[in-house]
Amino acid sequence: MTIRLNAPAKINLCLHVLALRPDGRHVLDSLVAFLDCGEWVELRRAAKTSLQIIGPQSANLPVSANNLVLRAAGLFPAGCDTEITLHKTMPIASGIGGGSADAAATLNGMAQLWDLPLPDVTTQLDLGADVPVCMQSRPVVMQGIGEIISLLPKLPPLFACLVNPACAVSTVLIFNQLVSKANPAMDALPGDILQIPDWLAQQRNDLQAPAILAEPMVTSVLTELRAHAPIVSRMSGSGATCFALFKSLEAAQFCAQTTQAAHPNWWTVSGPLLAS
């Protein structure tokens, strides 16, 4: 039996940092959506656990024991030996949860392949703060240190263009450079989902300013995206990937095509947000 699961990109449509806990973890408040970028994990039973990484970003991610896919597989009992193939399309350390999405897909795939329960949320968090939110790949509100996940019924039809300027940034560095560790939470979500785009425009990403200080190319990306008059454009996660939201697929695709033409070395993708 072979199981293949998609590992969509995680987009922090907004990300508010509310507090710094004594253990050094940050309390977050974030509306998260997902975009299928063609990344997937394939698993099959084997005599020995192994990982093969293929795809357009595979050269940037050599196989190592610390890879989140192997660490996720290692959470299952001895004897659950699995041959794993990771098709890597997302840039490394780019703020869209590529490694966390891969880990989440691996956890879900291992549970199906071996007919075993999933590790609990606390164990998932040991892999990374974004792993629990990536377990279902649907619109959610993520709170706490990533362990409080509230499902949304759906989002209105929205289409995204994601752009990364071929720059990897350190999440630890960005959080360390955040001046204020205590910021206001998100505004209450509107009761009418059609008002979410306007609501989003009033929210923020508290990590955007420190990321721009660490990597000024973030400003260049945002300038490029905002030239297309999106509903909203900001950085995702700790960067450096930025997004622009549109009401039509054609507008998102045009943004991606023109950005790619102007900046051939940038990573660019577009498509519909996974709405439910």
Catalytic residue positions, numbered: 10, 130
Q: How does DSSP assign 50-62, residue by residue?
A: EEEEESTTGGGS-
Asked if 21 contacts 15 with a C-beta cutoff of 8 angstroms, the reply is no
**Beta strand pairing call for 267-272 and 159-164:** antiparallel
**Beta strand pairing call for 140-144 and 148-151:** antiparallel
- Scored b (16 or more CB within 10 A) or e, 4-30 reads ebbbbbbbbbbbbbbeeeeeeebbbbb
**Residue holding tokens 């425009």?**
201
Query: 3-state DSSP helix/strand/coil percent for the chain, to nearest 5?
Result: 30, 30, 40
Asked if 242 contacts 158 with a C-beta cutoff of 8 angstroms, the reply is no
Residues in the chain, overall count: 276
Half-sphere exposure of 101 (CA within 13 A, CB side): 32
- Scored b (16 or more CB within 10 A) or e, 76-92 reads beeebebbbbbbbbbbe
Distance CA 29, CA 276 (A): 20
Distance CA 216, CA 209 (A): 10
